Structure 1
Amino acid sequence: MTYELTDFPQFEEVPQEQLDWLTEHLEIVEIPKGGYLFEKGSPIDHLTLVFEGDFELYFQQNNSRKSFGRIRKHDISGLLPYSRAKNAGGFAVAIQPAVIGTLNREKLHELIGKYYELTEVLVHEMNNRIRNITQIEVQNEKLIALGKLSAGLAHELNNPASAMVRSASLLQQHLKGLPADFKKVIKIRADDEAIDKINQFMYQKLEEKSSELSMLEQNTLEDDLYDWFSECSLEDRYDLVPLLVEYQFNTDDLLFVKSCLRDEDFNPVLKWIVQNMTTHKTVTDIKEASSRIETLVQSVKTYSYMDQSLDFQMVDIHTGIKSTLNVLNHKITKVGHKITTEFDENVPQIHGLPGELNQVWTNLIDNAIDALPKEGGELKVKTKAAGSFVYVFVEDNGHGISEEHLTRIFEPFFTTKEIGKGTGLGLDVAMKIIKQHNGQLKVTSQPGKTIFEVCLPINHNIEEENT
């Protein structure tokens, strides 16, 4: 069977004599379904033309297969003019029987030297390949970043949401017991003065809760209350004492309440006080949890600038950094890392793109977190104003960046992370955004101290003179 190069739309403008030369030197190869066009590590030493078939591109990640594209009929692959690729980074497996034509490296050199139009087509294909790979990698970088943010938000939202569910359940159980106690409460005989004293005293305790007690102080107070309850032969001591301790009721407080009442009324009133404290504590817990959710939602809204203009505008970089830290908080706190911030109050707003700048803070802070040691990790974020410029420093006490890697760290696709954990575009994207603002991004590193320094002009039309 004859396979014609004129069937390839890419060769439409290539002179026939050049196609004849290519046809003469092609080696036709048949690949069965399940066979490989190339495997990871295979040398890239042939130009490949796909006459028939369809190949799935994939790489292995954590013992699983991840597809990232296709090579189809009439695609051009393999070695292309001026390409520096040496070995395949993944696999290409035939998902149907295929027929390919290959041209070895030596003949490709001859092609480049003699046939301009054919070379031009192949160079154009290489440019398309670079553009497609870049798009795939950028998309992967975005998906990885989105995955990290989504996981963090799910974790951060789950804690307060679970706390609200628990508190609501406890409150529901608590309210079920109120009818029985209410019978005793309505039998209480007390004048208005006594009622006002107890009410005022109780709400003062609820609203003016003192600083937290130490463990020793809590145990001492708990023992005193249990002893006092035993001497007074009061019931429900094991239900009442823990809440009384939390709100720091001591024996003098109980004696004060007791002095306002008849003896038979003291226990029902004390239970009523504890019930109010239980309700107050539960509602406070729900309020704090819902406030945390509100803060996270606001942080995401601020981080994404979802309801604001995407054009250059006046930006408070502290707001962006804080919202980024909120979004990434789970990564910082889940293993006990310490974070400190030193924000210069004199830092003015700058003229910039807030969403893009937040990408910079995310990439720098996320990389710093990944570099922290398993124990004793410390991340510092510092800002300062100097003249017409604002500086942001992101410092970690990780293992540092080797001198060999330090010279390449801002190169696109350069990464020291495992497959699936980074594409090597984070710092490249950060650098492009900083340059878009006429700023600078630098790094210094030694074991135990790596600092990324961002310099941004207050007005993006100003360029730094002292580099």
Structure 2
Amino acid sequence: MTWGRDLKDPLYFVPVKYKLTLTFVLISVVSLGIGGLVSYQTTRDALKDQVLKDLFLTGQVQVQHVTSFIDALKKRTEDFSSDGFIRDAAFRLQTSSHPALQRELSRHLRVNKMGIVPEFFETSVAGRDGLILASSDPARVGLDASKNPWFVGGRSTIFMGEIRTGEHAGEGRPSLEISAPLTDKETHEFVGVIVNRIKPEVLSEVVQAGIPLPGEGRDIHQVNRTLDSYILDREGRFITSTHRLKYKDAFLQKSHMSTRAFIDGHGIMASYRGREVVYVSVRLPAQGWTLVTELETDEAFRPVLLLRQRPFFVGCALVFITMVLLFFPLNFMIGPILRLRSAAKMIEEGKFDVSVHVDSRDEIGELSRAFNRMSFGLFERAKKLEEYTGELKKREREVRYEKDLLNAVIQCMSDGVIFIDLNGNISLFNSAAEGAWIISRDGAEGLQARFAAEVDGCFRKQMEGMAAGNKKGCRKVLHARGRIYENTCTYVHNPSGKALGIVMVSRDITERKQMEDRLLHQEKMMVVGELSAAIAHELNNPLAAMSMFAQMLIDECTGETPYREHAEVIMRNTQVCKKIIRGLLDYAARSPVKRQPFNINRCLKEAVDLYRPLLGKKDHEVVFSLDEGIREFMGDEEQIRQVFVNMIMNAMQAMESRGVLTLKTSCNGASGIEVEIQDSGPGIPSENIDKIFDPFFSTKPSGIGTGLGLSISKKVIESHGGTIRVKSETGNGTRFIITLPAVEKAETVGA
């Protein structure tokens, strides 16, 4: 272990030739700085204590002034309450109506009472019930003050409330209220309350200019350019002005003082102007207010500023003298070290054939000789390293070319390719795989993918099989992001047979599956159509004979006989069979689509009109939401109307009674048309959604439907180049969405 290996030079960034000088300078400056700081802090603390004592005495005097001023106003209010005329008038105004007496009492309050005390801007008298009987402000006569604090508190004693903003009971302006009870001169019974409203700004004059007695003149004088005093209410809001804020700007504004400042009562803080101040807060216990006296610290600690500046000049002088005395000795000692540093920088730049000559036998000479031996060794090794580097770069270029070629081939593949290592991380994928599966960067763990549960299961099986030594892959057909993929998983091994991971090739077979489904459906429909036409043709003649003979039996059976009823049953069932046969013929027929322009909204309304009587009978409500701006549609109006009729009939049968049928039309881009037919019925079960357009599929009771309406409707819409979709939830009704494309001119096409 080498001594000092774990120690770090605090001046490692300073050149050696300046380090010794700087060390002496730092020692001198630190010693002088610590001494000056201790001296400055001691003097400052002593001065701070003295300033706090002076501010506390000033605050106590201010509190006495404010208290004396408020006591004088209370005394004035008490004198007003003992006025015999006021008490007699208050009593008489509550026993009977005396308009003249009321006016005289209001004049007396305004001229003889409020006029002698300029601090009062309103004097009022309230009766026992809180109604104002008279006031220096005639507009307040008759107001109900029974719930005002000055009335409740002034019923039994002299009361002074909080400063009120003027928003209570329509008082008009902020005020400080002092009230006193009025009693009968003889019985001393309570007859009312007299209240004097005081302008809050007079408190600012008292705090800023001294406290003259009420009614006397006052002279606002400035005591100190940074000394300030003001009063805060219980919530810490200004209720007086300050030296820097006028009354209208400061009144009821939230102050800067924190709860801790209220509790401590003195200290140093940031004032409302943002300046640092020494402050003392004194409570006015009777009112719950706080009087704050503050002085800026720059003004308070001005005497100690020179004590802080002198050590700085002395330190500068010491630094200069030390640098002059040590400059020449250090220059001769540091020269060899500087030459070694220059040689080391040359080696750092790659110039290894460099040496340093120092004619000395001391430690610096030994250091230079060791440096020269190191330089020669580095030069020999650099030559060999350059040869090895050239060979490695050549092999790296070959490997990079093969990798780029392989990556280009994989990226050009239309099938998705993903390689997953033994830890489940994606190491390689192409753009086709990125489009098929969701692949994202997940921090230090590499690429992660979100696959379907079947793919995850396949990967887990492959991982387990790899651990067991199995080399057989798996193949899965999966649905993801609206597409169908055929995924093949295969093990990947290195030349020595060690498993490296799994590669998955994902082929998009969506179009192939859709083509297979369409071909299968077309073959199925062709067979159903041919079978339907054959059955309808074979059954039509027997049914016609049965219908004819049943009608003859009905005509020959007169009166009420069982044979007539039997014949009518045969006739009804024959008609049902004919209806089914007509449906079969319509389904099997390939009637042409005769395109002519017509209005979809009108066609939809005509389909509804066919069922108006039935809609009213079943108490069904029809709600139209038709886009009147859609263009005319080019198509076979009769076939489209039949589709609407089928849809409306299905909706009515689904709702049974008391339902809402909503019909909506709108434009669907590029002048296409979208028609929505929605009912409030019980909805279609999820297991039947994919079957409702199949021929002969029906959930209605036997005899009500043939199961061909929706199948025929779908054929009609598709023959017009459109689509029909259904959205339904059990219990929330069913919505059919018909989308018809734009057709520019009339034409006839096969169905």
Q: Which has the higher contact order (CA 8 A, sep 6+)?
A: 1
TM-score by length of 1: 0.34
TM value normalised by structure 2: 0.22
> Which has the larger Rg?
2
